[in-house]
Amino acid sequence: MKIHGLRVLKSFVLACLLGFFTGVSTAPAQQQQPTQDLDIVRLHLRGIRALGESGSQETFIAEGLGDIANKLRSLPFSRFSLLSNDEVAMPVHRKRSFPVAVNQSVTVRPLEIVGDVVSLWVSWRDGRGNKVIDTRIAIRRGDEMIAGTEMDNSEEGTVLVISAR
């Protein structure tokens, strides 16, 4: 019985290996992808805290946010301060999480680079693990993706800025 079991196991393993190598060897060669998988994209992630009613007072934008000041002014808040600021070089397909605000994190994975356009998978979750956004977005190098959400009390919000270099 033991010998029979061993024979069966041996034939099973051989079948697996044979099928695997046959499949691998008969698979057509991969065509040259236009993407540059080995490329590295430099990402700049900023977490911004937004406060105050817009319109009621003058808009205050913290230092370091001048490049996106115009866009921040379109948001319904009057005060913007920097909570987190990370600048990293990430290879394509590598995933990494960054803090956005207290108990909030964003996971970013560069998916493709075509020319100067970078495709990113962005998953932002709040402190309770709820999904704020989960998206695949393409941005041009030098541009930024800006997304924001209001907190539970609606009196303050968090803004995420991801720019590709």
Partner 1 sequence: MVTPLGIKEGKADMKLKRCRDLKTVLTEKEELLLMRFRDGEASWGERWSARRLLGSCSAARDYLEQLGVCGDFIQWRSTRMEHQLPASWTLFPGIQREIEKQELLRAVTSPRKGGWVLNAETIVRVGWGLTGALTAASVMILVAPSPEPESKRERGVGSLGVNPLVAASVQPVRLSPVSTLSGARSSAGAAETHSPLAGQQYGITWFSSGGKVQVIGGSRSETPVLWISRNGRVSRRASPTPDVPSAVFANDRRVAQSPLLGR
Q: Which of 51, 85, 147, 156 binds partner 1 (CB under 8 A)?
A: 147
CB of 48 to partner 1, least distance (A): 11
* E runs forming strands in 1-155: 40-53, 60-61, 77-91, 96-101, 104-114, 117-125, 131-140, 144-150
Q: Which helix (H) or strand (E) holds 158?
A: strand 156-164
What's the token pair of residue 52?
């105050």
In order of 60, 76, 147, 151, 162, the CA distances from 156 in angstroms are 14, 10, 14, 6, 20
- Number of residues forming the site for partner 1 (CB under 8 A): 56
Residue type, 43: L
Looking at the chain, list the stretches that DSSP marks H as alpha helix, in order from N- to C-terminal side. 2-26, 69-73
In order of 9, 48, 73, the CA distances from 60 in angstroms are 71, 12, 9
13 binds partner 1, rule: CB under 8 A: yes
12 binds partner 1, rule: CB under 8 A: yes
Residue type, 67: D
Footprint of partner 1 on residues 88-127 (CB under 8 A)?
Answer: 112, 114-115, 117, 119
Considering the complex, state which of residue 24 and residue 38 has its C-beta at the smaller distance from partner 1. 24
CB of 87 to partner 1, least distance (A): 19
57 binds partner 1, rule: CB under 8 A: no
Span of 36-44, 86-94, 95-103, 142-150 interacting with partner 1 by CB under 8 A: 142-150
32 binds partner 1, rule: CB under 8 A: no
Residue type, 109: R
Q: Which of 15, 69, 89, 102 binds partner 1 (CB under 8 A)?
A: 15
Q: Which of 51, 62, 88, 133 binds partner 1 (CB under 8 A)?
A: 133
Instruction: Provide the binding-site residues for partner 1, judged by CB under 8 A.
Output: 4, 8, 11-20, 22-24, 27-31, 53-55, 70-71, 73-77, 112, 114-115, 117, 119, 130-140, 143-150, 152, 154
